[in-house]
């Protein structure tokens, strides 16, 4: 009689953001030959843009007399999905032992974002000289790999005849798993919850747990069994040592039994056998895929923008309007598009994004539309990159009449139709993201709640950015961080897919902080959907 439990991992709690380490491997092809009597001796330097300046992170070794180097040293870098991480790879021919780069001959460079590399897994690009021209036939290849072991152990365990430590009733056992530390001492890896105690005398086993453990690829581990006491003074029952390989021999029909030994009792009592038996009914190693596993596996993030053109925004010719484009060429709508779009665009290979508007009257008959292509091409609403969205937005403003009401559901349902087609996928190939930018109160709240509830079953997330100074209580209601969202019929969302932020909270903050806030929950939502659907990355063997 086992029960499913949530594992309690021992260790620091992670950041709310998607942070993990990525290993970058670099190769060069057909590099410029700067040496007269021999070939170039290239090395690669990695820079990251920090506050507008290039900062050196690391260097590879020097490959002697080699125009096609495959550098052994890897670059290891923290990956932040919600940030634009600009990188520059510069190659030099080592001439002297100096650490100063100007002492060495420049062979070419290549700049990109880390997101661009991980979304492609491997990229090959032309090396450029300082004047922007190709560095001969020189090329660079960069490959990314996540530095983590995503394997987990699923264990089903039970106990039999464990020593009674309670005066009244049976013991309340739990287990602690240890691995050897670098200092030779045992290090706690995992603690189970307290087992339910069986009251039926005829039942021979006490159930301990069915649990997930982080993978421990070591030859041996120690497992300690305690009896739980509410005052924290847990009673030691016994311990044993085993290995993952040995536990994996257990099968439901052939469980593995291990004696739980109390060393003190063993020394004192000549006829001591054990303090009970720990039974492993099954032990399986599976993979717990991360967000980066899905991206490296080839998952595409499909980005759509929905823009509010209702009359409450004000006349775009008036400087007080939220759609007024100031002399700097921007407004809150454009700032939100840039903040989110510049992150997401790295994860869509064709970078063609549908841009839709709602709440406006359209020429020539001036009927109100709550779902129109802002490039006025309903059969092809796609814009090329974030720049294309910005251009289409600016171009459409003089040709539409702001009207109303503020209906969200048509655009949500528009994206949901495409997301529903993606539910036929056998692997994690597509996930849809809708960015809605709005200035006010939703008019079709019942329909919107229903649309969100239905969309929560699909590979889809919704980001809402509220511009202006309106009351955004309804938006907070859609963002299910504090309560489960229900449709007007009472149906609950399968998962929280809405993230709302008011732009006014970020007006005086660095521009990248808006992207961090709106994209913080997205990696978790992507992983949650694909896990729930039991969908592996496309190339799960390589991911």
For position 112, which CATH number holds?
2.60.40.150
CA-nearest of 110, 25, 99, 29 to 66 is 29
Share of the chain above pLDDT 90, in %: 66
Residue 543 falls within a domain, yes or no?
Answer: no
The dihedrals phi and psi of 298, each to the nearest 5 degrees, come to: 115, 10
Name 18's Cβ contacts closer than 8 Å, sequence gap at least 6. Answer: 79, 80, 81, 82, 291, 292, 523, 524
Residue 487 falls within a domain, yes or no?
Answer: yes
Residue 542 falls within a domain, yes or no?
Answer: no
> What are the distances in angstroms from CA 478 to CA 348, 358, 435, 446?
27, 19, 14, 11
Residue 469 falls within a domain, yes or no?
Answer: yes
Q: How confident is the model at residue 119 (pLDDT cuts 50, 70, 90)?
A: very high
pLDDT digits (tens, 9 = 90+) for 310-336: 999 999 999 999 999 999 999 999 999
pLDDT digits (tens, 9 = 90+) for 122-143: 999 999 999 999 999 999 999 9
In this predicted structure, the answer to whether residue 238 has a pLDDT above a threshold of 80 is yes
Cβ contact 67:33 at 8 Å: yes
Q: How confident is the model at residue 504 (pLDDT cuts 50, 70, 90)?
A: very high
Number of H helices, E strands in the chain: 11, 27
484 and 417, same structural domain? yes
End-to-end Cα distance, the chain: 36
d(CA 41, CA 53) in angstroms, rounded, equals 27
Which residue among 129, 147, 165 closes a domain?
Answer: 147
pLDDT digits (tens, 9 = 90+) for 149-175: 777 788 888 888 888 876 655 678 888
In this predicted structure, the answer to whether residue 59 has a pLDDT above a threshold of 70 is yes
308 and 272, same structural domain? no
d(CA 521, CA 136) in angstroms, rounded, equals 44
Helix or strand or coil: residue 323?
A: coil
Domains in the chain: how many in total? 3
In this predicted structure, the answer to whether residue 396 has a pLDDT above a threshold of 50 is yes
The dihedrals phi and psi of 434, each to the nearest 5 degrees, come to: -110, 120
Domain that holds residue 137: 20-147
CA-nearest of 311, 379, 383, 308 to 345 is 383
468 and 325, same structural domain? yes
Q: Which alpha helices (H) appear in 330-396, and where do they start and end?
A: 332-344, 385-396
Q: How confident is the model at residue 219 (pLDDT cuts 50, 70, 90)?
A: low
How confident is the model over 177-205, as a mean pLDDT? 64
> Whole-prediction pTM value?
0.80
240 and 131, same structural domain? no
266 and 121, same structural domain? no
Residue 378 falls within a domain, yes or no?
Answer: no
pLDDT of residue 216: 55
238 and 143, same structural domain? no
447 and 307, same structural domain? yes
413 and 514, same structural domain? yes
212 and 305, same structural domain? no
pLDDT of residue 492: 92
458 and 341, same structural domain? yes
pLDDT of residue 217: 54
pLDDT digits (tens, 9 = 90+) for 513-529: 999 999 989 999 999 99
Which residue among 147, 176, 192 closes a domain?
Answer: 147
pLDDT of residue 404: 92
pLDDT digits (tens, 9 = 90+) for 470-500: 888 878 778 767 778 889 899 999 999 999 9
Residues in the chain, overall count: 543
Q: How confident is the model at residue 199 (pLDDT cuts 50, 70, 90)?
A: very low
333 and 239, same structural domain? no
276 and 409, same structural domain? no
pLDDT of residue 169: 58
How confident is the model over 15-23, as a mean pLDDT? 70
Most confidently modeled range among 248-252, 304-308, 422-426, 438-442: 304-308
Residue 130 falls within a domain, yes or no?
Answer: yes
Which residue among 147, 179, 203 closes a domain?
Answer: 147
pLDDT digits (tens, 9 = 90+) for 23-55: 999 999 999 998 777 899 999 999 999 999 999
Q: How confident is the model at residue 187 (pLDDT cuts 50, 70, 90)?
A: confident
What is the chain's percent helix, strand, coil content, to nearest 5? Answer: 20, 35, 45
For the chain, the average pLDDT equals 87
pLDDT of residue 300: 96
């Amino acid at each position: 009689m086992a029960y499913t439990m949530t594992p309690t991992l021992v260790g620091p709690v992670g950041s709310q953001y998607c942070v993990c380490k990525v290993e970058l491997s670099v190769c060069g092809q057909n590099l410029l030959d700067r040496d007269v009597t021999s070939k170039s001796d290239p090395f690669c330097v990695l820079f990251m843009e920090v506050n507008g300046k290039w900062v050196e992170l690391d260097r590879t070794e020097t490959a002697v007399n080699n125009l096609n180097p495959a550098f052994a040293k890897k670059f290891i870098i923290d990956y932040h999905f919600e940030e634009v991480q600009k990188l520059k790879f510069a190659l030099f021919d080592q001439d002297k032992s100096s650490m100063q780069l100007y002492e060495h001959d420049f062979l070419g460079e290549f700049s990109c974002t880390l997101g661009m590399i991980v979304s492609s897994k491997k990229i090959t690009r032309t090396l450029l000289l300082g004047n922007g021209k190709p560095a001969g036939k020189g090329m660079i290849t960069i490959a990314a790999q996540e530095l983590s072991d995503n394997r987990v152990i699923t264990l089903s365990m039970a106990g039999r005849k464990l020593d009674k430590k309670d005066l009244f009733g049976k013991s309340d056992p739990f287990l602690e798993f240890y691995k050897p530390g670098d200092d030779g001492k045992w290090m706690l890896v995992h603690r189970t919850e307290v087992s339910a105690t069986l009251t039926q005398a005829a039942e021979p086993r006490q159930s301990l747990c069915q649990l997930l453990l982080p993978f421990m690829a070591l030859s041996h581990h120690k497992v300690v069994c305690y009896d739980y006491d509410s005052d924290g003074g847990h009673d030691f029952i016994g311990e044993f040592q085993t290995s993952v390989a040995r536990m994996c021999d257990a099968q439901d029909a052939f469980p593995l039994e291990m004696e739980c030994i109390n060393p003190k009792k063993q020394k004192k009592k000549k006829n001591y056998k054990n303090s009970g038996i720990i039974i492993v009914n099954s032990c399986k190693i599976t993979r717990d895929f991360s967000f980066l596993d899905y991206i490296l596996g080839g998952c595409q993030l499909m980005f759509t923008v929905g823009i509010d053109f209702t009359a409450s925004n004000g006349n775009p010719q008036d400087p007080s309007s939220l759609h007024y484009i100031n002399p700097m060429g921007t407004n809150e709508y454009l700032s939100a598009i840039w903040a989110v779009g510049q992150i997401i665009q790295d994860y869509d290979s064709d970078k063609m994004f549908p841009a839709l508007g709602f709440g406006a009257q359209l020429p020539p008959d001036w009927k109100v539309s709550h779902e129109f292509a802002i490039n006025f091409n309903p059969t092809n609403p796609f814009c090329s990159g974030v720049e294309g969205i910005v251009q289409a937005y600016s171009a459409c403003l003089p040709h539409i009449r702001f009207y109303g009401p503020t209906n969200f559901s048509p655009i949500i349902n528009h994206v949901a139709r495409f997301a529903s087609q993606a539910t036929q996928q056998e692997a994690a190939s597509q996930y849809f993201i809708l960015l809605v930018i709005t200035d006010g109160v939703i008019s079709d709240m019942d329909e919107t709640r229903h649309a969100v509830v239905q969309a929560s079953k699909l590979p889809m997330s919704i980001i809402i950015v509220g511009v202006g100074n309106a009351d955004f209580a309804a938006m907070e209601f859609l963002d299910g961080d504090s309560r489960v969202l229900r449709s007007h019929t009472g149906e609950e969302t399968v998962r929280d897919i809405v993230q709302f932020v008011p732009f006014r909270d970020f007006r005086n903050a660095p521009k990248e902080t808006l992207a961090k806030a709106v994209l913080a929950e997205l990696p978790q939502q992507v992983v949650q959907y694909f896990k729930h659907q039991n969908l592996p990355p496309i190339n799960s063997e390589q991911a």
